[in-house]
Amino acid sequence: FYPLHLVLTSDDHQERLCVYGGTLLLNAAATPLQWLRVMMSVNEEHLVEVKQKREELYAFTRQIQEVLPVKLRKGATCSAMDYYYCLKGIAEVTEAMMMVNDCDNNGELLSDGDSALTMTSTSLTHASTVTISVEAFGSYRRAVVTKDGIIRVGADITAESVIATCQRLSEEAASKREKAEERDLKCRDLMKRVKDTFELLYLRRQPRSTVTSDQILNSLGRLLEMRQNLREHEIIKSQLYRNSLRIAASGQLCQLGSDGSIVLPWDWQ
């Protein structure tokens, strides 16, 4: 089905094909025959439009990054269409800013608004690159910085607001990102220690899980503390020996993963 992605959904969408994200939405409760009918409704014109939207989205991203020190990405709550038009609006403004810069270099007179916007964007030239996650339309009245150093904004943000956000939050985002990298490094080191101590086949974070590095550090730290009780340590070690272990989000019980690994909730008792 390349270049389309098949997505199972519980929502009853009238438009099954999203040309902005290149996804074909299939109702999880439908029959295989109904799925086949949806797939057969896709024609060559649809595929051309999907390719065109992807190329335009790439062009928007490149245009924005030529002017602003940002990495934009689509958040989990943002639709592909809202993300497309958000980047399109920002790219149009940044393109105008580049034209204004050219006029300024040629000695042409600029309006007060153009001059202010150019001076503001120029001040960001040497700023560190920030990652901005675009979430659902209207979800954020003001940009916020996550503990991982990612700035979250709504899809209704303007180019002027992006510039102001970078100026206001870039230092905070960089500081939090540095701390997050330190936590991740500690997490990897501790995972290696636990893997060697209990002779695990591998130890990883559960895919698509909300478990954080701090939670993994807490979970594995308590697991290593069990070495103080030699009997419990030997029992756990014999049960985990040459097994695969994944750390998951909060839960009451351990589970067996589809790949045969032991899925351990981080807040295990």
How far is 177 from 151, CA to CA, in rounded Å? 10
Instruction: Let me know whether 144 and 167 are in one domain.
Output: yes
Of 44 and 103, the one with more pLDDT: 44
How far is 258 from 245, CA to CA, in rounded Å? 12
Range of the domain at 225: 198-265
Instruction: Let me know whether 36 and 102 are in one domain.
Output: no
CB atoms under 10 Å from CB of 115, counted, come to 13
Burial-class residue 111 by CB neighbours within 10 Å (0-12, 13-18, 19+).
exposed
| Confidence tier at 117 by pLDDT (50, 70, 90) | low
Specify if 187 maps to a domain. no
Could you give the C-alpha distances from 235 to 147, 199, 217, in angstroms and in order? 37, 13, 22
How far is 90 from 98, CA to CA, in rounded Å? 13
Specify if 238 maps to a domain. yes
Domain count across the chain? 3
Instruction: Let me know whether 167 and 115 are in one domain.
Output: yes
Instruction: Let me know whether 51 and 154 are in one domain.
Output: yes
Strand partners, 217: none
- Residue-wise pLDDT for 38-54, tens only, equals 999 999 999 999 999 99
Give residues with Cβ within 8 angstroms of 221, minimum separation 6.
190
Specify if 256 maps to a domain. yes
Asked if residue 221 has pLDDT above 60, the reply is yes
Of 110 and 172, the one with more pLDDT: 172
122-142 in b/e form (b: 16+ CB < 10 A) is eebeeeeebbbbbbbbeebee
Asked whether the whole model's pTM tops 0.85, one would answer no
176-204 in b/e form (b: 16+ CB < 10 A) is bbeebeebeeebeebbeebbebbebeebe
CB atoms under 10 Å from CB of 153, counted, come to 23
Which residue in this structure is represented by tokens 């990298």? 181
- Residue-wise pLDDT for 121-170, tens only, equals 555 555 678 999 999 998 998 999 999 999 999 999 998 899 889 889 99
Asked if residue 104 has pLDDT above 70, the reply is no
